[in-house]
Structure 1
Amino acid sequence: MTTVLDLNCDVAEGFGAWRIADDDALLTVVTGANIACGFHAGDPSAMRRACLNAVRHGVAIGAHVGYRDLAGFGRRYIDVDPAELTDDVLYQLGALSAFAAAAGGRVGYVKPHGALYGAIGSDDGQAGAVVSAVRQFDPALPVLGMPGSRWLALAAEAGLPTVAEAFADRAYTPDGLLLPRRSPGAVLTDPAEVASRVVRLATDGEVEATDGTVLAMRARSVCVHGDTPGAVELARAARAALVGAGVSVRSFV
């Protein structure tokens, strides 16, 4: 069904001496880099290095914007005023844009992180705030999100290019949502399982939920989280399996 698929991964999610993944290795495998912008993770040096390596390897630079929540890694919901959220997202976009430009690249898309990603799936106020920030930064900038989310719907209404995304290393509930991370089996770490899932997603347009329900899932991009144990091996397995199935792995930008 899908002959072209983007493989994206979260990078630059350390801070100071704390490192969460082998970003250098991941950027030799993926086609899209969701670079943390300093609010949920990431610092200026990590952002610069990620941008430099992304440009070096021909990987699209994505702004991985999140709540102002370093302690919680951006995975805690924050009931922030929409106007303040717009400013926070615009601030993050500006910071990453500076490092992207210094590396000879540009911000090619936006993908919200963690709890913000989840909240804007159904919260019109916060989704609209993020849409507003993106439009003010670049009204032609593509945005990445879950199929059927309010985020993608409002972005499309505002004229932003939208890209549907699926997850290679996360389990789905029968209603098509991500199984909460604290639930058993929420994060998938077996390279063979991940490889099989992405091929099924690309060739059949479907993914299996935790109860065996087969969900229709049409996506142009698939994500491997940088903080998933063995992320590099998972990304390599996913890419090799897709190529082996005749799927062209390349960015949507």
Structure 2
Amino acid sequence: MTAIDLNADLGEGFGRWHLTDDEQLLSVVTSANVACGFHAGDPATMRRVCDRAAERGVTIGAQVSYRDLAGFGRRAMDVPPAELTAEVAYQIGALEVFARAAGARVAYVKPHGALYNRAVHDEEQAAAVVEGVRLAGVTLPVLGLPGSRLLELAARAGLPTVTEAFADRAYTEQGTLVPRGQEGAVVTDPDAVVARSLDLARSGTVVTRSGVSIGMRARSLCLHGDTPGAVELARRVRRQLEESGVRVEAFV
């Protein structure tokens, strides 16, 4: 039986501002990418999400980012490698405090936004992320795009790697994500998102923005929590996967 993990970006709030419906999404997903305070999130939010995730048996992951609260971590930034390494380790360590307090642990690392996309091609930035994971003192799996420099360098460093796909994002024929600033970068039709989820899980394929089907083998499927109707869409995706014979479970 085919198995796939469902992950979502959670804890994306700050103070009185809340973006994601963490409570409801934690009833659907199997892994939670928790914002660690650099693009979103604050200590109280991180603690709350870790507590709820642990209660529901959802795996906790550190979603590390450039230091960019104003831009939600989606703006291009040039951060010196040594500084980025320290910041990645800092974010993992901060989340680990709350995960352990909840009786769980940080089980993997996933970059967010601009850092995620930069680490697909930029060897220097990808290497800094990998070194940050190692500096945190644990051998954590790294979640990322198939074929990315990030996963290649993580594997070289002895870190487990996990491939990820996005049902609600458009792909290029090279297997990379269409930048959010371009038309059609986000797939908004719920039926299309569900159909793409099934294709990714069962056949390891996705249709690009140009209409070409390409291979996209992924162990985890990301469900974005910051889009309208995200919770109901996530429920529908999980239900359809399970009804089609796909086992939905965390990768760790």
TM-score, with structure 1 as normaliser: 0.97
**Structure 2: gaps spanning 5 or more residues:** none
The yes-or-no answer on 1:236 pairing with 2:232 is no
Aligned length: 252
Q: Which residue of 2 aligns with 1:218?
A: 217
Please give the alpha-carbon distance, in whole angstroms, between the structure 2 residues aligned to 1:146 and 1:228: 21
Alignment of 1:1-253 (within 5 A): 3-253=2-252
Give the secondary-structure state (helix, strand or coil) at the position aligned to 1:87: helix
Shift of 1:179: 1.2
Give, in angstroms, the shift of residue 138 of structure 1.
3.8
SS at match of 2:111: coil
Indicate if the aligned counterparts of 1:61 and 1:109 stay in contact, CA closer than 8 A: yes
Paired residue type of 1:18: W
For 2:188 and 2:105, the matched residues in 1 are separated by 32
Question: Whole-Å Cα distance in 2 between the matches of residues 112 and 228 of structure 1?
Answer: 19
Cα root mean square deviation, aligned: 1.0
C-alpha distance in structure 2 between counterparts of 1:165 and 1:228, whole Å: 19
Deviates more, 1:115-124 or 1:132-141: 132-141
The alpha-carbon deviation at position 193 of structure 1 amounts to 1.5
Rounded to whole Å, the distance in 1 between the matches of 2:137 and 2:154 is 12
**Residue 206 (structure 1) shift:** 0.2
C-alpha distance 96-139 of structure 1, shift in aligned 2 (>3 A): closer
> Tell me, what secondary structure is at the counterpart of 2:97?
helix
TM-fit CA distance, 1:121: 0.7
Structure 2 SS opposite 1:184: coil
Instruction: Check conservation: 1:196, 1:241, Cα contact below 8 A.
Output: no
Q: Deviations over 1:126-181 (max 9, x none)?
A: 11111011112244211100000000000000000000000011111222111111
Identity of matched residues, %: 62
Q: In structure 2, what is the Cα distance between the partners aligned to 1:102 and 1:52?
A: 8
Letter in 2 for 1:132: E
Instruction: Measure the CA separation in 1 of the matches of 2:29 and 2:212.
Output: 29
Distance of 2:242 and 2:217 partners within structure 1 = 18
- Once the two structures are superposed, residues 54-108 of structure 1 have per-residue CA deviations (whole angstroms, 9 ceiling, x without a partner) of 1011100000000000000000111110000000001100100001011111000
